[in-house]
Amino acid sequence: MVGGGGKRRPGGDGPQEQQGVRQERSKGFQNSFWLRCQLGGVRRCRTAAFSTPVPLSRNRRCEKAVAVKKGKCCEADVPSDLRKEVESHYRLSLPEDFYHFWTFCEGLAPEQPADSLSASLGLRLVGPYDILAGKHKMKKKSASLNFNLHWRFYYDPPEFQTIIIGDCKTEFHMGYFRDSPDELPVFVGTNEAKKNCIIVQNGDNVFAAVKLFLMKKLKEVTDKKKTSLLKTIDEKLTEAARELGFSLEQRTVKMKQRDKKVVTKTFHGAGLVVPVDKNDVGYRELPETDASLRRICRTIVEAPSDAERLKAFAPVQEMMTYVQFANDECDYGMGLELGMDLFCHGSHYFHKVAGQLLPLAYNLLKRNLFAEIIEAHLADRSREDVDQLAA
Catalytic residue ranges: 329
Q: Tell me the C-alpha distance between 206 and 95, whole Å.
A: 10
DSSP 137-198: GGSTTGGGS-GGGTT--TT--TTEEEEEE--TTTTEEEEEE-SSTTS--SEEEEEETTT-S-
Bridging pattern class, strands 200-201 and 262-264: unpaired
Q: Tell me the C-alpha distance between 211 and 213, whole Å.
A: 5
Q: Tell me the C-alpha distance between 259 and 143, whole Å.
A: 38
Strands (DSSP E) along the chain, which ranges? 43-45, 61-63, 124-125, 160-165, 172-177, 187-192, 200-201, 262-264, 272-273
Q: Tell me the C-alpha distance between 256 and 325, whole Å.
A: 32
Enumerate residues 6+ apart whose C-beta is below 8 A from 377.
149, 152, 156, 158
